[in-house]
Structures are given as structure tokens and as C-alpha cells.
Amino acid sequence: MNKKRWIALFLFLGVVALVVVGLGRLSPRGAERAWREVPLYGQGEKVLLLELKGSIPTGKALEDFLSQVRQAREDETVRAVVLLVDSPGGGVTETEAIHRALKALAEARPLVAAFGSVAASGGYYAATAAREIFTPPTALTGSIGVISVIPEVSGLLEKLGVRVEVLKEGTLKDMASGLRPLTPEEKGVLEAYMGEAYELFLRRVAEGRNLPLERVRALADGRIYSGKQAVALGLADWEGYLENAAQRAAELAGLSAFRLVRYEKPKGLLQELIGEENPLGLSEAEALLGLLSQSRFRLEYRYLGGGLW
């Protein structure tokens, strides 16, 4: 290759490198990212829709949700917020993090919750941060309690001829590993841990719904309630849907007219050019790896009728 071709090649590679660096800087991954507002309907001042759908988020999805809550709290042009909950719940720690963030938001501006078809366990827990709760009469809610499912595979391993040696320092170090049944002592340790999480759930419901703690305890045997039953029991305020909750949030903010908006991830220039954020479809694989990497013992505010995952 002659000298001119080498020079042309280096110039081309240099231009490519500059373009890649520039696109990376324009991408939302490279900077503090604000959420972009997307109008849904109406005219007037802003009422924001936050959506808590599916299992309580973890990892990056949890960070994204908390980031939306934080932006809503800091944006003075957001006059009220409606929280749409359609979730069977999820991890104890993540649920409490969401509740704390929503509670701080509710102290800054009116927050009204609206249930979808399922707002149970951790989904209901999160909703108690709202000033008022609307629920369809046929929605499934309640399921106030704590659960942990621990697969015990020692019998299966024995059938397969697999023997596992566990080396440990500390008598209870391998409890809840699933490699052997729990001992009575181990069950006591785990049940005490679950008891703390259960009591926290009761307090959050009592505080959020302005109910006596013992009244909440009587309702908190893990059973599910219909939306109609929840209103009668004081676990929700009104029978209604998202539109009713949005209207009520606007009223609490003193708005005669409002426009409902939601947040959306902004796209960097590279994503605009490619046309999709993840052309390789890695999100499903990443989610699966995250699931497999979770500890076997995991406390959850979850209604299992809504699915394990």
C-alpha cells in the first residue's frame, strides 16, 4: 500500500473515532439524563403519570423508576402526580425504597394512586404512599404479608447421584441453600427476619391509610381482596380508574384543567440513527442472568398468584 493510501486510511479511521466519541457524548448514557415528557391528553398545567407495572423492579429498572420519582419531585411545573399500579409485588428492600421515594414525592405535591387489574402485596405497599387510592371494583389487591420460596433439591441430587460437599465456618452459614432441609433453629432465624419485614408492612399500611395497627393486623393474613372489598375495609378510598385518579390529583392541586404527561427515555443520536436502543436483544438475557444470580433465599412482598417472576 502506497503512502497516499496509508494517509487516507488513517484519516478515515480518525474521522470514525471522532464520530463514535461524539455520538457517545450525545447518548444519554454519557451524561446525567433527564426524562423526556410525552403528552397523553388534555390542556393546562401538568399532571404526571408514573407507572409501576409488573414485578417490583430491581437493578437498573429500579434506578430508572426512582429517577423518575426524583425528577417529578424536583420539577416545580409538575403540579400533581398519579401513580398507576399494576403489580403483584416483589422484593422487600426494593419495595421499601420505592415507598420511601413516593412518600417524599407525596409531601411535595398531591399523589393519587390508581390500581390496574392487580395491585397486591408489594404493589399495594407502594400505593399506600399516595394521598388517595382509586381501584376498579374487580381489581385484585391486599395480600398483605411476606413470603420466601426456597427450592430444596437434596432428593433430586440424590437421585442423580450428585453429592455436594459444603465447607463452612459458622453453624448456620449454609442455611437456606436448598441443598438440605432447614433445621428448626434455621427456621426460627428466618422467621424472625420475616417477622420484621411483616411488621414494617403493617406500619406502612397503618400510616398510609390512617388505620389502627391492630385493625391492619386483622386484615393482613395474606388474603386477597377485590377492589370493592378494599374500599369497604378502608384499604382504598374510591372505586374508579386511572382517569378518575388523574382528575382527583388535579383537583387536589387546585387545577380546573390539566394535561396528563408521562416520562420516556430520551434517545441519543446513535439510537436515533440505529432505530432501537438494543438491536442485539440483550435485555432478556440480562434479565435471566440477573434472576439466576439472585440469592435463593429472598424475602418478598409478593402475591404468588401473580407469578413468581
Q: Do 159 and 250 touch, CB atoms closer than 8 A?
A: no
Q: Do the Cβ atoms of 51 and 84 come closer than 8 Å? A: yes
Please identify which of the residues 60, 168, 173, 265 carries the catalytic annotation: 173
Higher per-residue pLDDT: 197 or 297: 197
Chain centroid to Cα 44, Å, comes to 29
Within-domain flag for 283: yes
State pLDDT tens for residues 222-266: 999 999 999 999 999 999 999 999 999 999 999 999 999 999 987
Residue 291, pLDDT > 60, answer no
Catalytically annotated residue among 27, 87, 121, 177: 121
- pLDDT tens figures, 8-52: 555 655 555 554 445 444 444 433 458 999 999 999 999 999 999
**Cβ(24)–Cβ(270) under 8 Å?**
yes
Q: Has residue 17 been placed in a domain?
A: no
Query: Is the predicted pLDDT of residue 92 greater than 80, yes or no?
Result: yes
Per the structure, the count of domains in the chain is 1
Residue 170 covered by a domain: yes
Strands 36-42 and 258-264: antiparallel
Domain membership of residue 288 (yes or no) is yes
* Residue spans of alpha helices (H) in 116-241: 122-127, 154-160, 184-209, 213-219, 227-233
Would the pLDDT of 273 be above 70? no
From the CB of residue 213, how many other CB atoms can be counted at a distance below 10 Å? 14
Task: Extract the C-alpha cell encoding 257.
Answer: 384543567
| Angle between helical axes of 92-108 and 184-209 (0-180°, round to 10) | 10
Per-residue pLDDT, 298:
74
Q: Does some domain include residue 153? A: yes
Answer whether residue 25 is part of any domain: no
Determine the average pLDDT of the residues in 195-206. 97
Query: Does residue 173 have an active-site annotation?
Result: yes
CA angle 304-101-113, nearest 5°? 60
Q: What is the mean pLDDT of the chain?
A: 84
For residue 102, being part of any structural domain is answered with yes
Residue 20 lies in a domain: no
Q: What is the CATH number for 118? A: 3.90.226.10
In the annotation, is 121 catalytic?
A: yes
Q: In terms of residue numbers, what domain contains 179?
A: 32-306
Per-residue pLDDT, 309: 45
pLDDT reading at 55 higher than 60: yes
